[in-house]
Each structure stands twice: as C-alpha cells, then as structure tokens.
Chains A and B, each alone.
Chain A
Amino acid sequence: MNPASLWRLSAASLAAHVRSGEVTAAEAVESGWGEPASAWERDVRAVVHHDAGARARAAAAVTRDRALSGVPVVVKDNLCTTDLPTTCGSRILSGYVAPYEATVIRRLRAAGAVVTAKGNMDEFAMGSSTEFSCYGPTRNPYDLALVPGGSSGGPAAAVAYGLAPVGLGSDTGGSVRQPAAFCGVYGLKPTYGRLSRYGLVAFGSSLDQVGIFARHAADVAITYAALAGPDPHDATTRTGAAPDVSGWDTGVNGLRFGWPANLWQEGVEPDVVAGLEESAAALERAGATRVAFEFLPGEYAVATYYLLATAEASSNLSRFDGVRYGFRHPDSPDVRALYVRSRSAGLGPEVQRRILLGTYALSAGYYDAYYLKAQRARTRIRHEYSQAFARCDVMLLPVAPTLPFALGAKIDDPLAMYLSDIFTIGANLAGIPGLSVPVGLTTGGLPRAVQLLGPEDSEPSLLRFARAIEIRGDARRLAPGHETEFAWPTKR
C-alpha cells in the first residue's frame, strides 16, 4: 500500500488496512498531511489548530482492532478537545484549551480514530459561509473565490480536499448540510438527541447537533454507529440504542420519497433543480416511488429559527465574560467594564447582532410576541413534517437554493445570508435527521447536492436512499463495500 495514496481512501478502507496491519496508524494519520493535501491547505485554510506532536502521540496510542482504527478526523473548532485549543473562531476564546473532551471526541478515540486538526468555522457557529471567523475565511476547494459554506466550512473543505476522510461539524440550522453541499461531500445532521452535545460549545441548545462529513455513504454510517447513543452527561440525548445503520447498502426498492416541488418553483438555481431531477430519476430506477405533495414554505421556518436560535444563543454566550477563561480586556476597572469591554472586543459583529436579536426576543414585553410565538410556530412546523412522513419514508429537496456563492457576496446582508438556510432549518426545528448527498459536479466544476430528510431515527433510511443516489440507481453496483469514485477538486 503506497502511503502517498492513503489520503484518497475511504475511512472504511483505511481502517481495514490498519486492522490488517498493512498500514500503520501513524501512516494513516499522517496521510493527509503530505502532498498534495498540504498544498491545498495553504489556499483553502480549513485548519485553525493542529499539532504534529499530538498527532504522533495519538497515533501511537491507537487500538488497532476498532471500526475507525487509524482514521484521521478533522473536527470543527467548537468541539472540546484536550490536546488542541477550542476557540470557536472567536477572539474571546483565544488560546483556550478545554480541560475535558467532548463525548463524541471520546467516542471517536474509543473507535480508534485520531483527531488531527480543528477546522475553521463561522464564529460560534453563526453564519453560512465561514467568513465570520476571527482567523479569516476558508475557501471552497472547488473554486477558491467561493465560500465553502458554513458554519462548518473548515471540516467540510478538509474532507473535500483529502486532509481526512471524515470530519465532524455542528448543525444548528444547516451548518453541516450546507457546507457539505458546497464542498461536494456527505453531511449528516442526526436526529436531535442521538449524538451527545456534551463538549459541543452551545449555540442553539434545542437545535444543535454534532454532524458527520465524509466522502462516502459507508463512512457516514460507520462514524454514526461509533458516535450515536445516550450520554449520561447530556440530558437531551435519547435513551435506548441509536438506530442501526448497518443496512445502509440494502437498497430502496418499495420505499417512497416525498417530492415537495412547490419549494423550488422560485428562487432556486437551475443547477440545483437539475441535481434534484437526476436524483429522483435514480431513485425511481432503484425501485423507489416518488410521492408529490406541497410543503410549508421555508420562510416560516427561517423566521421561527432566527427567534429561537438567537434567544438560546444570547443566553448560551453569556458565559463568555472574561472572568474564568478566554479574553479579558486589559482595561477593566470595574465589573461592568470587564464584561462590556471584553465582550464587545472579543465577539464579532455577526455574533453581537444575533445576541441583540435574541436578547430582544426574550426581553420583558416581547417574550410573548417573539419567543413564545416562535415556540408555537415550531410545533406547527413539526406537525407539518409528521404529516409529510405519513406519506413517504424520506423527503427529497434542495440543501441550499444556490450553488456556492462568492466570498463577500452576502456578508453585508444578514437577511440574505439567513435565507440561504431556507431548506435546512426545518429539520433542526423538528429535530429530525437530514443528509446532504453530493450528486456530481456542474459543467462549471462546482459541486451539486440534494438533501434527504426523514422522521426521527430514520438515519438508516436516509443512508439507504443516499447510497442509491450514490450508485446512480444502478442495482448492479449495489454490493457491500463497493466504493464509488469521489469527485475530487482539481483546480487551484
């Protein structure tokens, strides 16, 4: 096995080679750090923290017989790790190293994987382009003038150019699915409560989920299986075993997919629609039935989200005050000055915008009109999804209304940025799982994607449908372990 080409392997293959002894954990872990990957990093800038020594030590400690033995993983910089800083793309956490690790990180290590880098992100996960990071933007590997999506743009891009076969992000309103789509990789947002949030720096507590990036559906499945399950440290995790995703390759014959075409009649780019049409055709070839219906337009979900997420965030981010950790303004003569100056200097403009909005939505006199109303709207939206899933096993719809947009294009228009989440936000409000599935490149070489949504605990179905799309509905390619070719970025 040529170490120089290890970086192209799927996680499943790589781990198999490590288990068999053909490849050492050290070789596997270092695979993405040589050429050509490191050349990509110079331009893409997906990584914000890494440490060769920590990597080597972790590789030396790998247990060889696990599902992800030796597999390098890039994780978003809002997941607590003890050997690398956790800074959430923010000045206010500059230099912070957590004294504990997130449960999902611990489970990755228990599965034999090695966290090799922290990925760039929009500050505190607030953004859809990874342009709001104090470290500067990450660029899309498929076109360096474009955004990789956000807020988990760093890990998405890193997986896309080959730094690691698996990445972890967080998805509050689409922050795993949308960058996955923009970077041509898979992005799974699990059912709320299936992956522990302990150690994930909170943005919107009732919406956040740790998400998984990978280049192959199989890798999403094995990573999910390694991470999912109840956690006594997180009271919002579901008790009982997580759904069994081992049947991800068993096809979709006889299953139904919803087709809410009213959602993309307007405002969605033709390439995105083409990707949907092709995917639907592939699924029908694979034996699934298309069920057309109308679905609630996404504006309501966006409005609901921007009240609830910001309200929760305004409270979650209060702990960043310069007292116990993080940045403290040097000129803090009294307690109020300490708070105000540290926070105003340490938190970026988009974060401050959302804190203001959330504080407003909760403040006396406005709680009923904003927060409470949004909680009621959320119930309505959940009900809409329940009704839809009475008629189909999964829904097929876009991830984002556009292809990746240019750096700087939406940065001055918060509302336009928020509306790019119009198809992803609903799943967070409903607590249901969503999977971004790459469907090739446009003629211009940019990634296209479609989104699958399903009811709670339908991750097994989502993966079966994703696999069917992955093999273009070609039943002859339906064999366990059969890997499809990944459409690597080429231009730099």
Chain B
Amino acid sequence: MAYEAVIGLECHIQLSTRTKMFCACPVGFGAAANTHVCPVCLGLPGALPVVNRAAIDAAVRLGLALGCDVRGSSVFARKNYFYPDMPKNYQITQYDQPLCVGGALTIVIDGAERSFELTRIHAEEDTGKSSHPERLHDRRVSRVDFNRAGVPLLELVTEPRFHDPDECAVFLAALRRLVRWLGISDADMEKGHLRCDANVSLRPRGESRLGVKTELKNLNSIKGVGKGITAEIARQTRLLEAGDRVEQTTLLYDADHDRLVVMRSKESAHDYRYFPEPDLPVLAVSPAWVEDARSRLPELPWVREERLIAEHGLPVYDAAVLTEQREASDYFEAVAARVDAKLASNWVMTEVLRVLRERGWSFADWNAKVPPERLAGLLTRVASRELPGPLAKQAFGWLPDEEGDVATLLERHGVRVRASADDLLPLVLAVIDENPGPVEQVLAGRTQTFGFLVGQVMKKSGGQAVPQTVQELLRAELAKRGQAP
C-alpha cells in the first residue's frame, strides 16, 4: 500500500520590536533572569494589557507581502491553560477572528514554482521560559524566567498542502528570508525567533479523506524540519503497515538523536475555553493603515530575484544567493551600478559573504568599512585587467581593515602590478630560454604545456603579472619560433 503524507505547518515568528506585545518591557536577548518584566507581563494582580502598534504593523506588512486578506476588525482572545511559564495562566492570542486570512507563499523546488496556501496569520504573546529539572540543595526544581513572556509572536498557519519534508524545509527557509527581508524578525532559529510545528498525517494514495494527524513540535532548524517530518512519516508508515492505528498524539523531535518522543501530557485533551479578551477592544486596522503599510513594503525578495535575472542578466543561482538577504542584493546593485553585473555578483557571493561568515559580521558592518563604491573601485581595475586575480584578492583582503583607495593600498603594501608588454617581455623571453623542452612540446602541439609556461612567467613576476598580457606575449613569441598554440 502506498501512502501519501499530508503536512501542514504552524510557524511562530518572534518579532524584533523594541517592546513586548502588551506592555512596554524591552525585548532583548541575554538579560539577567526576570529583569525585563513589569506588572503586566508578570501577571501581577490588577495589571492590564495594551497592544503594541508596531507589532500589529509588522503583522499587517507580513500579511500584505503574502497576499492575505488583512481584516479591518479582529479580536484578541484568551487561551486558558495552566503552566509555570504562563504568567496569567492564559495566553492572549487570536482565535476565531484573526488579523490575516488566506494568502500564500511561493517557493521554488526542483526548479519549479509551487505556491503553498496559508490559512491565517495572527498576533499573540510568547510565554516565559522554564528550565529542565535540576538539583538544588535538597530537592529538584525547575527555574522560570519571564523575560520572554509577552514578547510579540505572529503565528502563521498553512493549509495542509505539503506532501514532502523537503517542501516544508524550503518553505520555512523562504519564510525566514521574508521576515528578515521585511525587517520584522531576526528569525534566528537557534535563538527561537522562528519556531515550527508540523501536523502530519498519512493516507492511502488516491484517498481524499485525511488520516489521523499527529502534532510534531520542537522542529527548531531548517534541517530539523526535514528530518523530523521524515522520521514521523516513517513512524506512521510502520504503524499502518503493521495494521495498527495512528493515535492523535503530540511528539517532540529530538534533533540530537534524530528521534521522536511522545509527549505524555495530552494537549489534545486540553479544553482551552477560548473567549474574547475583555481587557482589549476590537483591533481596528483601517484601510488607511493598510495602504500606508503597503507603501512601506520593500521590493519583495521574489520580485527582486526576477528583476536581477531580467535586468542584470544574472543566472538563477546568483539571484537566489544574492536575495537571501536584502542587504546583500542592495549592496550588489550598488556595486553593479558601476561595474559588470556578473563580476559584481561573483565577488559579492564568493568574497564578501565569505568575509562576513569568517568575521561574524552583518552586512551593515561590512558596508560601514567597504561601501559599494570602494569595492566597485577594486572591481573596475579587475575588469580592465589592471589588477590580476591573485593581487585583486589580496587587495580585497585589505579593504575592510584599511582606509584609502586601491592605488593607495597597493602602494602602501609595496605591490606592483606588471601589465605592460615592455615590463613583461624580458620575463617571457627568459622563460622561453630557460625551458627549451617545454617550448618544444608546445610547438609540437601539446597545448597543455602552454599553461606551464604561463605559470613560470607568473612565478618570475612574483604574481604581479597580469595573466592575459603574459599569454598574449607568450603566444606572439612562440609564433615567431614556429607553430603558435
């Protein structure tokens, strides 16, 4: 029996606003426990929530970018359940009247575009953080920190349209790109800014009814999403093939051991008793607000990808890499305004991104040291062959740490570029004289040895010769002596 997996995703996006969803406590990482708290997010008696406009604006922009219907009125609701990291033992979320409905995110998988429909996006608050049990004095305890309690979250739910773990992983990567692109979340999955749960069910191929679905939690990396869902599909397949039924359970994915652990507490048994939040009015998002938010949307990543291909003639691969981060393509375009696009693309993709990785820099860090004009200055010399490859890379290495234009840098480091025929001809002649054997071979037709001769000239020049000039001179000299390669 062949089974088809049906998967839906629930993603939680932690917003990068300055303050929390319902109070003005700062949102930040690494603060000492329980220092970013106030009566509201600590659930003290008498405290009341007040909605953060910027968080709603972020939700509106995300909804617009994804083509959702952004609702003019939506309702906050209480989801009631007891848990130590819940300051009020209810979470303020949105239930049957969310902020955004519908929409879709298109991804490219196996070279083809696929659009995955969304069900909804709504705003809610994050919980505090509790630790695993530890021994303290004479007993075992867990610690609870409410710094994260109340941080704004957007919950994005997809329709159950995925059939393959890879689709889910690519979708999540695309979502991560988008929220970073819009500047609404840092989406660092290791820091929990982007979390993903999956609902997985199997059905016989051709069957239209859905099977029993399980909920998979703690898929906290792009790879983890693919592997966790794969593991769950395998588990359900084994059960069904053995003639057993799939139970509606919640499972945690343990990435370290690549295994699934069934949660003992039955979340499905919770009766959340949702009701509209009486402490908050209906959330009104006017048409004017929506239009204003729309006007503040940047060129969306997939639009820019297409434009880079169309306008700059870049290959699909380059456009994809450059649009992983908005700053990367912004930078690329600024450089490409001055030099050949493919040249700019190669250098940004390979060299600039490498430096960022090595140094742990952001694009802002890079831009402060090497604004686009500076890199363009270097690349102009590369394009005109004034600067050979190895030297260009060397000069590139100095750019982030030193001031001055390329000429200044080369001079400061005592580097000479030897590009003139007058300068290089003696070296070429010397190499021909010193290597009669290889010269014979080349003249006899062994073209590979030509490269060896070029290399010898480069060596003699201490890497300072422009290779194309060396090749031209060598060809000309060898032609005088016999067959030109």
Contact = CB atoms under 8 A, between A and B. Distances in A.
A binds B: yes
Interface of A: 78-80, 86, 88, 93, 96, 98-100, 102, 197-202, 204-206, 232-236, 311-312, 314-315, 318-321, 323-325, 335, 339, 359, 362-364, 367, 371
14 contacts: A78-B46, A96-B45, A197-B48, A198-B47, A198-B48, A233-B48, A234-B48, A236-B280, A318-B80, A318-B89, A323-B84, A324-B42, A324-B146, A367-B275
Interface in B54-106: 78, 80, 82, 84, 87-90
Nearest to A197: B48
B44 A321 contact: no
A204 B278 CA distance: 9
Contacts of A311: 275
A88 B271 contact: no
Nearest to B276: A375
A88 B45 contact: yes
Contacts of B165: none
A371 B77 CA distance: 14
Given A86-B45, A201-B46, A319 B88 contact: yes
Given A98-B45, A325-B44, A339-B82, A318 B90 contact: yes
A349 to B, nearest CB: 20
A88 B44 CA distance: 13
Given A232-B50, A233-B48, A235-B50, 9 more contacts: A93-B45, A102-B46, A197-B46, A236-B48, A315-B273, A318-B80, A319-B89, A324-B44, A364-B273
Contacts of B42: 324
Contacts of B39: 98-100
A302 to B, nearest CB: 19
Given A235-B51, A235-B279, A324-B87, A364 B271 contact: yes
Interface string B1-20: 00000000000000000000
Interface centre among A79, A200, A319, A335 (most CB of B within 10 A): A319
B400 interface: no
B265 to A, nearest CB: 10
A205 B278 contact: yes
Interface in B267-309: 271, 273-275, 278-281
B11 to A, nearest CB: 26
Contacts of A198: 46-48
Contacts of B45: 78, 80, 86, 88, 93, 96, 98, 201-202, 319-320, 325
A359 B39 CA distance: 25
B255 interface: no
B152 interface: no
B88 to A, nearest CB: 5
Interface in B165-195: none
B443 interface: no
Given A99-B39, A323-B84, A371-B275, A315 B46 contact: no
The 7 nearest A-B residue pairs measured at CB: A318-B89, A205-B278, A362-B273, A206-B278, A201-B45, A199-B46, A319-B43
Interface of B: 39, 42-51, 78, 80, 82, 84, 87-90, 144, 146, 271, 273-275, 278-281
Given A100-B44, A324-B42, A233 B273 contact: no
B249 to A, nearest CB: 19
Contacts of A314: 273
Contacts of A96: 45
Contacts of B44: 98-100, 324-325
B34 to A, nearest CB: 9
Given A199-B46, A311-B275, A324-B43, A236 B80 contact: no
Contacts of A362: 80, 273-275
B152 to A, nearest CB: 16
A79 B88 CA distance: 18
Interface centre among B49, B51, B278, B281 (most CB of A within 10 A): B278
A233 B275 contact: no
B51 A319 contact: no
Nearest to A204: B278
A204 B279 CA distance: 10
Given A93-B45, A98-B44, A319-B43, A235 B281 contact: yes
Nearest to B49: A235
Contacts of A325: 44-45
Contact of A80 (B46, B51, B144): B46
Contacts of B43: 319, 324
Contacts of A100: 39, 44
A100 B39 CA distance: 8
A285 to B, nearest CB: 43
A21 to B, nearest CB: 36
A359 B273 contact: yes
A232 B23 CA distance: 11
A233 B48 CA distance: 7
Nearest to A206: B278
Contacts of A339: 82
A204 B84 CA distance: 24
B150 to A, nearest CB: 14
Contacts of A319: 43, 45, 87-89
Nearest to A199: B46
A78 B43 CA distance: 15
A152 to B, nearest CB: 16
A235 B48 contact: yes
A206 B276 CA distance: 11
Contacts of B49: 235
Given A235-B280, A319-B45, A363 B271 contact: yes
Interface centre among A93, A204, A205 (most CB of B within 10 A): A205
A318 B281 contact: no
A362 B51 CA distance: 25
B93 to A, nearest CB: 13
Given A206-B278, A315-B78, A362-B273, A98 B46 contact: yes
A204 to B, nearest CB: 8
A185 B231 CA distance: 71
Contacts of B82: 318, 321, 339
A180 B271 CA distance: 40
Contacts of A205: 278-279
Contacts of B46: 78-80, 86, 98, 102, 197-202
A357 B90 CA distance: 18
Given A100-B39, A324-B42, A335-B84, A315 B275 contact: yes
Nearest to B280: A235
Interface centre among A79, A197, A315 (most CB of B within 10 A): A315
Contacts of A79: 46
B459 to A, nearest CB: 73
A217 B228 CA distance: 70
B269 to A, nearest CB: 10
B449 to A, nearest CB: 78
B97 to A, nearest CB: 14
A318 B273 contact: no
B273 A321 contact: no
Nearest to A338: B84
B87 A367 contact: no
Contacts of B275: 311-312, 315, 362, 367, 371
Contacts of B47: 198-199
Nearest to A102: B46
B175 to A, nearest CB: 31
Interface centre among A86, A233, A312, A339 (most CB of B within 10 A): A233
B95 to A, nearest CB: 11
B51 A315 contact: no
